[in-house]
Amino acid sequence: MKKLSILLAAGTAGAATVTAIPARAADAPAAQADAQIDSAQEAGSALDEIVVIGRKRARSEALQQTPVSITALTALQLDRAVSKDLTDVGRMTPNASLQPSAQRGVQNFAIRGMGVSGSTPSDEPAVGIFQDGVYWGSNYGALNELFDIESVEILRGPQGTLFGRNVTGGAVTVRSARPAQETSAKMMLGIGNGMMLEGSAVANLPIVADTLATRVAVLTRRNQGLFKDEVRDRSYGRTSSFVVRPSLRWTPSPAVDLTLLGEFYQQQGDPVVVRGVAPNTVRGGPLTLAEKEGYTTPADFFTVSPGDSGSSNVKVYFTMLEADIDIGPGVLTSVTGYRKVRSRVLTDFDGTPSDGFLQGVRNDQHQWSSELRYAADIADWLSMTAGLYYFDQSFSFAETRDLNNHASLLATRSMLDNSSFAAFTEVDIKPLQNLTVTLGGRYTEEKKVASSAPFGRCTFDLVTCTFTGPARYKGDNFSPKVGIAYQIEQGPLLFASMTKGYRSGGFALRGTALASPYDPEKVTAYEAGFKSDWLDRHLRLNISAYYNKYKDLQRTVLAPDPVLGVIQSVFNAADAEIKGAEFELSAIPVDGLTLAATYGYTRARYKTFLGVSDPGSRRFVRVPEHTANLAADYETDLGNGDGVGFHLGAAYSGTYFFDDANLLSQKGYWLVDVNVFYRLQDRMTVSAYGRNLANQKYASWGSSLGALGQNMFPGDPRTYGLRITAEF
């Protein structure tokens, strides 16, 4: 394995010295799409033809000609919708629930019913996030700002062949803007409610004409919080974010394209906002500590009462080297990345003035990975992608719990080393002119070594711990894919596929004794659909349907405990079937106006569930059955070079449950956003925006802590602001 990692690293270095002619598979597809969107909006003549790179082919592909269910959003679309992080992207994607967790900077993402709910670092994600081709091995630090981004692509459904393990729900790929051979600059200043101040600057500069260019992007944003802390009579939910992303692009010849990109991201302030719930809403639940002490939840939904204000500090370091070289009929691509996450969070988890559950978390994770692949259009009837991949990760996780009026002071610590290797290929064969058959497969080997000091085996200051282990896990997997697509002349693209994927096995590392490893979670997925443009590309309709069969589902089981507060462990607890459909409709009824609507239906049902006699009656955690999005975008030229326009969006989420027992839930709700802008001579834009205009009261998650209380994690109230953007 060590020899292979050296080989892949050498492949990256070697790529820098090859001087053949590269095909441009990764040449700024989103930038092209933004130019096309601008052109389409100015002309008002047709829907844009977005191009995507999610299938890792030799050249970027038109979205409407790609036989995969993908939602692709360009920089312009993200900017018009005032999207700040990936949770905003989820609202624009059918059957996607991209939500934060109970820890600042930790994601709980689900697509087509598959995801995670919790903040245990050893829980492998079911939705993989890939930043500039680099897989994020941890859910921690996974809500970075969507700033100076070229595109975001959401591939729905298992993507095991090209993206590997832990994408049983889907994959989210984020591509940062790259240096270009032009001198340009962009600045933004903004203000908003909650005493929000933000500013950003982007500078792009050629260093050597036609050869070397650099780009530096910086963002800072801070606010005093959108909630009220009634205990301290101040605002609550304070956050401060800072991002700096330098990059360098070297093209010594038309043959070679090298990009070196780095990023530092920090978010600090208050922890995730927690709202304590009293009286207890769990039927038959115990009298909680907060109730005994006379606490009643404030009537105002956006008022909270933390006994300890808590704190959070999350830092993420990232660097990536990508090389694209043309060799023969295709492109050799090497992507090597390093990522480090440092998280320190203190949260009043019961969310009441009572000293019920004060949780401290320290997590340190670092990883590096390297992928070497070759993609080629060998002939008119044959194209292929094949590659090798290596991933190495380790983390150290520690947690303290101050419980029940300081009656129990508990601490735990765990460590994990994880490595994996994969070889993959995917081939497109055209036996007939308009017919394409896709065959692919990926073989993966992985190892994990875990050590754990459960609650009671560490001093509260975490200075001394008694570990059990090391325990070892080793596994392998083969994930095949078979697909077929038929392009009707001047008509729709019809496609269908069968694919398999898996989510890694491993160890439950959240304060319980180190037990035998749980097995991988496996899925067999079937999909069919079509993509179509009508009326000279004034109307677009895409529909897909899917059926996924899951075996050995990994479920994080949470149970109240009088000593530990809550017990969290992972089991292969269930088998399930998930089926559904997705509809995406876009239209240009008049010049300058684009209307869009999406709808997603997910029917997720357990076939078996450990210890449950009627598993079919249980609903998945945080998986709404219905999701929808409506949007209207308008822009018109005023004749003097200025322009005016707006974006109006409304996202719907159906009812979802917070726990496997289905005792706690969130009713369906709509979130309405608007952005109105005035553009001056293509140099300056003034925009006023509002988010959650109806001041909808909703929660992303909630839990029961037994006698220690009940909580929920509310979404942000109405927010609004003003931005001024200048381009030079």
pLDDT at 81: 93
Cα 82 from chain centroid? 17
pLDDT at 561: 59
Q: Please choose, from the candidates 526, 425, 535, the residue with its C-alpha nearest in 3D space to the C-alpha of residue 484.
A: 526
pLDDT at 510: 86
Q: Domain count of the chain?
A: 1
Interacting residues of 472 by C-beta distance below 8 A, sequence separation 6+? 447, 448, 449, 450
Pairing type for strands 684-691 and 134-135 reads unpaired
Alpha-carbon gap, residue 254 to 23, rounded angstroms: 9
Residue 558 has pLDDT above 80, yes or no: no
Band of the pLDDT at 249, cuts 50, 70, 90?
very high
pLDDT at 28: 45
Band of the pLDDT at 681, cuts 50, 70, 90?
confident
Mean pLDDT computed over 526-540: 96
- pTM, two decimals, is 0.92
pLDDT at 559: 57
pLDDT at 575: 96
* 8 Å CB contact between 153 and 197: no
pLDDT at 408: 94
Whole-number average pLDDT of the chain: 91
Residues 363-374 have pLDDT tens digits of 999 999 999 999
Band of the pLDDT at 577, cuts 50, 70, 90?
very high
What are the helix (H) ranges across 372-460? none
Task: Please state the length of the chain.
Answer: 728
Residues 401-410 have pLDDT tens digits of 999 999 999 9
Mean pLDDT computed over 512-535: 94
pLDDT at 560: 62
Pairing type for strands 127-131 and 134-135 reads antiparallel
Residues 649-677 have pLDDT tens digits of 999 999 999 988 899 999 999 999 999 99
Mean pLDDT computed over 3-9: 39
Pairing type for strands 493-503 and 96-100 reads unpaired
Alpha-carbon gap, residue 226 to 192, rounded angstroms: 10
Mean pLDDT computed over 510-524: 91
Q: Domain containing 413 — which CATH number? A: 2.40.170.20
Rounded to the nearest 10°, the torsion over CA 38, 153, 4, 340 is 90
Residues 95-125 have pLDDT tens digits of 999 999 988 889 899 999 999 888 888 889 9
Q: Strand (E) positions, 136-255?
A: 149-156, 170-176, 184-192, 196-208, 212-223, 227-229, 234-236, 239-253
- Using a pLDDT cut of 90, give the percent of the chain over it: 83
Band of the pLDDT at 564, cuts 50, 70, 90?
low
Q: At 474, give phi and psi (nearest 5°).
A: -140, 135
pLDDT at 323: 98
Question: Largest Cα–Cα distance in the chain?
Answer: 76
For tokens 């018009």, the residue is 80
DSSP letters spanning 684-701: EEEEEEEESTT----EEE
Q: In what order do the strands lie in the sheet with 710-714?
A: 275-276, 710-714, 699-704
Mean pLDDT computed over 324-338: 97
Which of helix, strand or coil describes residue 35? helix
What are the helix (H) ranges across 24-155? 29-43, 75-80, 86-90
> Is the pLDDT higher at 655 or at 140?
655
| Number of Cβ atoms within 10 Å of the Cβ of 195 | 13
pLDDT at 568: 67
User: What residues make up the domain containing 229?
Assistant: 2-727
pLDDT at 117: 86
Mean pLDDT computed over 184-195: 97
Alpha-carbon gap, residue 6 to 629, rounded angstroms: 46
Which strand (E) or helix (H) includes residue 438?
strand 435-453
Band of the pLDDT at 142, cuts 50, 70, 90?
confident
pLDDT at 6: 40
Band of the pLDDT at 565, cuts 50, 70, 90?
low
Residues 426-475 have pLDDT tens digits of 999 999 999 999 999 999 999 999 999 999 899 999 999 999 989 999 99
Pairing type for strands 127-131 and 170-176 reads parallel
DSSP assigned state of 230: T
Band of the pLDDT at 513, cuts 50, 70, 90?
confident
Residue 684 has pLDDT above 90, yes or no: yes
DSSP assigned state of 177: -
Residue 152 has pLDDT above 90, yes or no: yes
* 8 Å CB contact between 397 and 359: no
Across 84-93, 187-196, 621-630, least confident range: 84-93
